[in-house]
Amino acid sequence: MLREVHVEELTEHIKEMCIQVNYQLSGDMEAALNRAAQEEESPLGRQILCQLEENLQIAAQDRIPICQDTGMAVIFLEIGQDVHFVGGTVENAVNEGVRRGYAEGFLRKSVVGDPLERINTKDNTPGVIHMSVVPGDKVKITVAPKGFGSENMSRIFMLKPADGIEGVKSCVLSAVEDAGPNACPPIVVGVGIGGTFEKCAVMAKHALTRECGRHSEIPHVKDLEEELLEKINKLGIGPGGLGGTTTAFAVNIETYPTHIAGLPVAVCICCHVNRHITREI
């Protein structure tokens, strides 16, 4: 049986989610920040983490976005194959949600229409939409606005199979080192391993939407996440890049089968304002 979903419903949800996520971080991110503020060894680092805690309170209380870069809206839609959308196209409905959310929420319009001519579209559209079809009759919407201070520090490496797991580790560590203070640490590191050039990039971005502190279900991938997090926090970059023991809150890895000749690795870096929110309709 097909279930009809009016696209206006998508628009309303996306509008609300764009606003909510820019004013209030998910509980997992807030918990990670609070824990770090206790454990950070550098006094200046602790001072900065306390500023970030206070920043979250002010954002929620006074309705000021957590960060002025309210991001380019990235939207993941997992659409049940028994859903039939009516009332318009999904893409238009999603962008209308972004448009309304960024206008009504006093969010910054950071999108230029043509990457070379660079004229601001003034409504933060279009978003970047990733759709997949899944079993069932539900639609899972994830909104994850991405700031570009950290996006600009993200990297793709096309490794050789012989580079192996050690090669993967050095890619992640070098991307984090290069990012240094620019990516607004403490960061969350999304990693995609395998697939193709574009597949690993999408996995790395999607990995950022995973709850902070939850690990991969694949035992050796979980081990790799833990090892990399420990190593990253030994780099010394620290909060704000001003030195310390908290450089990252989490390393989230997604994997996919790949070709006999390749080992693609994407490292998507996100600042401590790692905004992600999910709803199912």
Q: What is the contact surface with ligand SF4 in residues (CB under 6 A)?
A: 67, 69, 147, 149-150, 183-184, 271, 273
36, with CB counted inside 10 A (0-12, 13-18, 19+), is buried
**Total residue count of the chain as it appears in this document:** 281
Identify what 3 binds: another protein, ligand SF4, none; CB under 5 to 8 Å per kind.
Answer: none
| 125 and 99 Cβ atoms separated by less than 8 Å | yes
Residue 108 binds which of ligand SF4, another protein, none (CB < 5-8 A, kind-dependent): another protein
To ligand SF4, the closest distance from the beta carbon of 203 in angstroms equals 21
CB of 55 to ligand SF4, least distance (A): 10
**Among ligand SF4, another protein, none, partner that 243 touches (CB below 5 to 8 angstroms by kind):** another protein
Rank residues 82 and 178 by Cβ distance to another protein and give the closer one: 178
List alpha helices for the chain, DSSP H.
7-23, 27-39, 43-62, 90-104, 148-151, 164-179, 197-207, 219-232
Question: If 0-12 CB within 10 Å is exposed, 13-18 middle and 19+ buried, where does residue 234 land?
Answer: exposed
Nearer residue to another protein within complex by CB, 70 or 125:
70
Q: 137 to each of 3, 5, 24, 221, 262, how far by Cα in Å?
A: 6, 10, 29, 31, 36
Q: Would you say 205 or 215 has its CB closer to ligand SF4?
A: 205
Answer with the entry of ligand SF4, another protein, none that 174 interacts with (C-beta below 5 to 8 A by kind): none
Site residues (vs another protein, CB under 8 A): 41-42, 44, 47-48, 51-52, 54-56, 58-59, 62-70, 106-110, 118, 120, 122, 147, 149, 152, 180-182, 184, 231, 234-238, 240-245, 271-273
* CA 165 centroid distance within chain: 24
Q: Which is nearer to ligand SF4, 168 or 270 (CB)?
A: 270
Amino acid at 156: I
Tokens representing 121? 């579209």
